Structure 1
Amino acid sequence: MRNLLINFGLGASILLSFSTEGLAASYDDDLQLALEISGWAGRHSNVADLKQEVLFKFFRNDIDDKPGISEADFELLAAIHNSGGWAQLLSNKIKRDLNGDYIITEEELRPAFLYKAQISIDANGVRLRPTSEQVEQIVREHTEEFMRADSNGDRSVTLDELKTYHESISAQYTRKPHDFIPMLPTLNLDYNLDGAVSEGEFSNFTDSVVLKMDQNDDGRIDSEERGAFRELLRVKLNAQGQ
Structure 2
Amino acid sequence: MSLRHYTRDALHNPLNSLHQRGTWPLQRAVCSDPNNLHAFKFFFAPTVDSDDHFICCIPLVPPELIPDDDSEMDTLPVVFTVIGQVAPEECFLTAVGDQREDRPDTTAHKRPLASCLLESRPDRDSCVEWRQLPPAIQCIASTAVAGDLNTSRLLRFAPNDGAVQLRVRFVPYEGELKDTLPFFDTSANSRIVPQTINEVPFNKPLRATFTLEYYREGGENYLYAELVTLDTL
TM-score, structure 2 length as denominator?
Answer: 0.25
User: Higher Cα Rg: structure 1 or 2?
Assistant: 1
More helix as a share of residues: 1
TM-score, structure 1 length as denominator?
Answer: 0.25
More strand as a share of residues: 2
